[in-house]
Copies of this chain bind each other. A is one copy, B any other.
Amino acid sequence: MQANIERLQQRMNVLGVRFRPHVKTSKCLPVVRAQLEAGAQGITVSTLKEAEQFFAEGIVDILYAVGIVPGKLAKVLALRRQGCQLKIITDNPESAAAIVAFGKEHGEVLEVWIEVDCDGHRSGIKPDDSSQLLAVARILTAGRMLLGGVMTHAGSSYELDTPEALESMAEQERSGCVRAAQHVRAAGIACPGVSVGSTPTALTARHLDEVTEVRAGVYVFFDLVMHNVGVCRMDEVALSVLTTVIGHQIDKGWAIVDAGWMAMSRDRGTAKQKRDFGFGQVCALDGTVMPGYVMSGANQEHGIVSREGTADSGIASRFPVGTLLRIIPNHACATGAQFPEYCALTDDGSLEVWERFYGW
């Protein structure tokens, strides 16, 4: 994990941008502290609960990267009144007008960023839809809110798996967000920030000219989806689920383990990638990857470990009852979310329990 943190932070330093990690992956203070100590400036959150939890721990510079709705503004105000430099986002005039009305009513200048859709995968205004960009920007600035900048997330980079495609998507993300800022600035409206990012694009962008900050989340742990995308080696994945063999179905070549989808999550993100790992890659207790052995099926608290291709008729002697295995997950964000804590292996080989939170 520490190596992953340093790898991306150094890349951001070389590219000359601020780095604002997305803490939705870990929801865990020791992880986020390590990111900040390595040089990150501020954090990105996916829920107001994350903002509340990390602000309570002294982190003040927070971007809430899900489009705001009026019903959440009271919580936003409460955080800002306590000193949290909480930034919110929107991609439509209705929400912008609601932000202005709320800000006026409460005498608060809210900092708002406009969300840009650089790849068609989710929310945001198209980079060259200058009329919509300006409509939102004008409502905010006429209403005396602070336009912090424009931000985007190239989520469709998760669907790519060649260096060329990733580099191209990184440039599409960068240039689209920069163009959106230019449309706003061309109308005489200040738009200082240009925030981009996803783990695959952050790790493959050639340059980030005119970008002010980058966001990324899953790089901190990595996972099988990122391995398939091609941005990490298997031995760079820093998260695994420890499980025990509880029985076998010898005729099928199955070992049954006591981790099912409740532990791994139901994420089957590798199902549509070039290599399908089922519910996860099987490793020995010491982390050694056991090629060809995957968690091929899962019930709530049962996993089926088997060899890809032909059944392993010697499964019961290979993995006797009581054998401890590690399973590398498809998606670190989803798997981590199933657990109240991480067991962290420290430099000296001892274990620390790191609490994480969940919910909204």
A258 at the interface (CB under 8 A from B): yes
Please encode chain A, from 65 to 109, with 1 for each CB lying within 8 Å of some chain B CB and 0 for all others. 011111100000000000000000011101100100000000000
> A294-344: which residues lie under 8 A (CB-CB) from chain B?
299-302, 304, 320-322, 331, 333-334, 337-341
Interface of A is mostly: loop
> Taking A123-B246, A123-B249, A320-B94 as contacts, is the C-beta distance between A359 and B337 under 8 angstroms?
no
> A24 near B: Cβ within 8 Å?
yes
In the complex, chain B residues whose CB is within 8 Å of the CB of A261? 267, 334
Q: Say yes or no: A122-B304 contact (C-beta < 8 A), given A244-B71, A321-B94.
A: yes
Cβ A123 vs Cβ B155 within 8 A: no
Roughly how many angstroms separate A244 CA and B92 CA in the complex, as a whole number? Answer: 15
Whether A69 pairs with B246 at a CB distance below 8 angstroms is yes
- Chain B contacts of A267 at CB under 8 A? 261, 266
* A258 and B69 contacting across the interface, CB-CB below 8 Å: yes
Number of copies: 2
Q: How far is the CB of A196 from chain B (nearest CB, A)?
A: 16
Contact B117 A67 (CB under 8 A): no
Question: What are the residues of chain B within 8 A of A300 when measuring CB–CB?
Answer: 24, 46, 333
Query: Would you call A247 an interface residue if the criterion is a C-beta within 8 Å of the partner chain's C-beta atoms?
Result: yes
Instruction: Give every chain B residue within 8 A of A228 (Cβ-Cβ).
Output: none
Set of chain B residues within 8 Å of A244, measured between Cβ atoms: 69, 71
| B122 and A302 form a contact (CB under 8 A) | yes
Q: Determine whether the beta carbon of A92 is less than 8 Å from that of B248.
A: yes
Measured in the bound complex, the distance between the Cα atoms of B304 and A123 in whole Å is 9
Chain B residues with Cβ under 8 A from A70's Cβ? Answer: 322
List residues of chain B with CB within 8 A of the CB of A179.
none
* Candidate in A244, A331, A333, A337 with the most chain B CB atoms within 10 angstroms: A337
Residue in contact with A122 in the complex, picked from B46, B98, B299, B322, CB distance below 8 Å:
B299
Query: Does A302 contact B66, Cβ atoms closer than 8 Å?
Result: yes
B340 & A359 in contact (Cβ 8 Å cutoff): yes
Task: Report A306 CB to chain B, min CB distance, Å.
Answer: 13
**CA of A68 to CA of B321 in the docked complex: distance in angstroms?**
10
Is A152 in the interface zone, CB < 8 Å from B?
Answer: no
Q: State whether the Cβ of A202 lies closer than 8 Å to any Cβ in chain B.
A: no
Q: Can you show 18 pairs from A to B with CB atoms below 8 A apart?
A: A24-B301, A47-B301, A66-B301, A66-B302, A67-B247, A69-B321, A91-B247, A94-B321, A98-B322, A122-B256, A123-B246, A123-B256, A155-B299, A261-B267, A265-B266, A266-B268, A268-B268, A340-B358
Residues of A within 8 A of B (CB): 24, 46-47, 66-71, 90-92, 94-95, 98, 115, 117, 120, 122-123, 155, 244-249, 252, 256, 258, 261-263, 265-268, 299-302, 304, 320-322, 331, 333-334, 337-341, 358-360
Q: Which 8 A-B pairs have the closest CB atoms?
A: A67-B246, A266-B266, A340-B359, A46-B301, A266-B267, A94-B321, A67-B247, A69-B244
New A-B contacts (14) at CB < 8 Å, excluding given A98-B321, A265-B266, A358-B358: A24-B300, A46-B262, A67-B246, A69-B322, A71-B244, A92-B248, A92-B321, A115-B247, A122-B304, A261-B334, A263-B360, A266-B267, A266-B331, A338-B358
